[in-house]
Structure 1
């Protein structure tokens, strides 16, 4: 009997547009002879199933079922999570499915809550000797001294929401006069903000997958942004050059691969992850990690999979059966 798979997509942020593309890619690549996939759109004010004819059917939030008629109620065997940002990447939706006892792909809700919060993730990884930029944390409505922060961090620096994806709300600050505005901008996204020192070097992105009971590191991608940094526009409007595999010396490549696998294991992640680094004189400095990376044709992760020779359909099948148990 075919497994009924709910592919959840959308979310509560500007990343929802990207998530819809990722979800569609999952839907298109699942083997329809083995699975019965459904596209489920989750937005702040509306949850619904959308069929091939663009008909919408409301999702019951109490038990995550869909009623097509009085006598036809759809229950799912597994949820494939393709929501970037909140509530799909921060543990919220995972905790909901955990309570309902519905298997879901990706990492567990408590791991997602740590990885999505840059403040907690960076602080945690530092304890394991992972190199990161010098940082300073702020909470909303907390008084702070610009002079003190800039003296510690230096200029230029980055001001980021602690819980946000796709570089939303991030500013690169060159002068003190722009610092307060950058902090205000970040606080519009989240009530926790991180200020980081600028690292001059090469940006790279590394995918890691739990595949066939092994942790596999994918080919590394080198990122060259046409903008001042790898912001939302660079990521999704073609204003960046992404080179896979990255142009790295073998010993540097090995160092990054080993580190990425180590971080995946330290954070006890399952499914897939994509971590970002700045290479400074051959030393990788960890920036952040994504546990629900983009899966659209334009995204970095599928390009890394292609070079590794792993079909999307195989990865998605593996993710589902890792969640519900193998045959």
Structure 2
């Protein structure tokens, strides 16, 4: 008997198109011999739509979801990855793929993530939490990175190297969030680590991936083909072990499930946590599937493991 899986894509945020691509890839890759796949889309306006993109609203979506065995939410960013869809599934009593409400909300909040990381001994970049009120008193003294606290795909992120660029960078970040992080620039290699909690509860960490980009790895670099992804990353045993321990430490401290991508700067002093993504890009060519492919786990096998590990 096939497992009926609802794959939810889109979303009411700036990562809508990226989520659509991830969801479409998941839908295409789930083996029809094992799965009866039911695609659902959340529009930019928040309207739920069925496979034919007909508007059915939340009540119509709820009826569809009730007829499924597992929900696979592939919505990156706010009102999706931040625990919102996990909460919907929890309230409806539906098994779902990925992290629960609390880890989704914590990991989406970069400030909260770093508070948790520091508490368990994981290094983070020195920085300040800034609001609209406190921004007026902020003075530039050294190169910084300005970013919204809760946005994905590097939207609204700017590097500021001169004082006159600070104001526009803050404006761009505040356009996406009421809270902004201003962090010191960290000199190091950009290395991502994927962590998967298998259906049996064990953790699996594939080889890490290094991002080689010219400047900040922003939205354009991520999706415009301008970045060079190197997997496996060229790491010595000491750095590889430190990255794996930091990644699994963050994953466990936040309470993540399913798969997460933990992003680091690898410095001379060791790994410095940048952020944690509890629903990372999930096309076959995204960073996380590339890492698992390097470990010998194909894309379809990764999706199978995620469905099997769904919350019950």
TM class by shorter-chain length? over 0.9
CA distance in 2, matches of 1:324, 1:84: 19
CA distance in 1, matches of 2:206, 2:117: 21
CA distance in 1, matches of 2:223, 2:59: 35
Residue number in structure 2 paired with 1:240 = 227
Give 3-state SS (helix, strand or coil) of 1:314's partner. Answer: helix
Distance 1:41 1:247, change over 3 A: same
Give 3-state SS (helix, strand or coil) of 2:22's partner. Answer: helix
**Alignment pair present for 1:156 and 2:143:** yes
Of 174-183 and 283-292, more deviation after overlay is shown by: 174-183
Distance 1:158 1:293, change over 3 A: same
Residue number in structure 1 paired with 2:119 = 127
Of 285-294 and 83-92, more deviation after overlay is shown by: 83-92
186, 211, 232: which is aligned to 1:223?
Answer: 211
User: TM-score normalized by structure 1?
Assistant: 0.90
How far the C-alpha of 1:57 sits from its partner, in A, is: 3.8
Residue number in structure 2 paired with 1:302 = 289
CA distance in 2, matches of 1:243, 1:276: 14
Residue number in structure 2 paired with 1:322 = 309
How far the C-alpha of 1:293 sits from its partner, in A, is: 0.6
**Aligned runs of 1:286-297 on 2, under 5 Å?**
286-297=273-284
How far the C-alpha of 1:318 sits from its partner, in A, is: 2.1
How far the C-alpha of 1:146 sits from its partner, in A, is: 2.2
Residue number in structure 2 paired with 1:29 = 29
Residue number in structure 2 paired with 1:175 = 162
Give 3-state SS (helix, strand or coil) of 2:78's partner. Answer: coil
Residue number in structure 2 paired with 1:188 = 175
Residue number in structure 2 paired with 1:208 = 195
In the alignment, is the contact (CA less than 8 A) between 2:71 and 2:96 conserved in 1?
yes
Residue number in structure 2 paired with 1:110 = 102
User: TM-score normalized by structure 2?
Assistant: 0.94
Give 3-state SS (helix, strand or coil) of 1:33's partner. Answer: coil
How far the C-alpha of 1:258 sits from its partner, in A, is: 1.6
CA distance in 2, matches of 1:322, 1:75: 19
Number of residues of Structure 1 aligned to a counterpart in Structure 2: 310
**Alignment pair present for 1:270 and 2:257:** yes
CA distance in 1, matches of 2:138, 2:91: 44
Residue number in structure 2 paired with 1:94 = 86
Give 3-state SS (helix, strand or coil) of 1:102's partner. Answer: coil
CA distance in 2, matches of 1:31, 1:298: 18
How far the C-alpha of 1:268 sits from its partner, in A, is: 1.4
CA distance in 1, matches of 2:106, 2:311: 24
**Aligned runs of 1:247-262 on 2, under 5 Å?**
247-262=234-249
Give 3-state SS (helix, strand or coil) of 2:59's partner. Answer: coil
Of 311-320 and 184-193, more deviation after overlay is shown by: 311-320
In the alignment, structure 2 segments of 5+ residues that lack a partner are: none
In the alignment, is the contact (CA less than 8 A) between 1:160 and 1:169 conserved in 2?
yes
**Alignment pair present for 1:56 and 2:43:** no
Distance 1:242 1:282, change over 3 A: farther
How far the C-alpha of 1:63 sits from its partner, in A, is: 6.6
CA distance in 2, matches of 1:5, 1:302: 20
Give 3-state SS (helix, strand or coil) of 1:103's partner. Answer: coil
CA deviation profile, 1:279-313 (whole Å, cap 9, x unmatched): 11151100001010111133111111111111222
67, 71, 86: which is aligned to 1:75?
Answer: 67
In the alignment, structure 1 segments of 5+ residues that lack a partner are: 68-72
How far the C-alpha of 1:189 sits from its partner, in A, is: 0.4
Give 3-state SS (helix, strand or coil) of 1:56's partner. Answer: coil
**Alignment pair present for 1:38 and 2:38:** yes
Distance 1:290 1:143, change over 3 A: closer
Residue number in structure 1 paired with 2:131 = 139
In the alignment, is the contact (CA less than 8 A) between 2:41 and 2:53 conserved in 1?
no
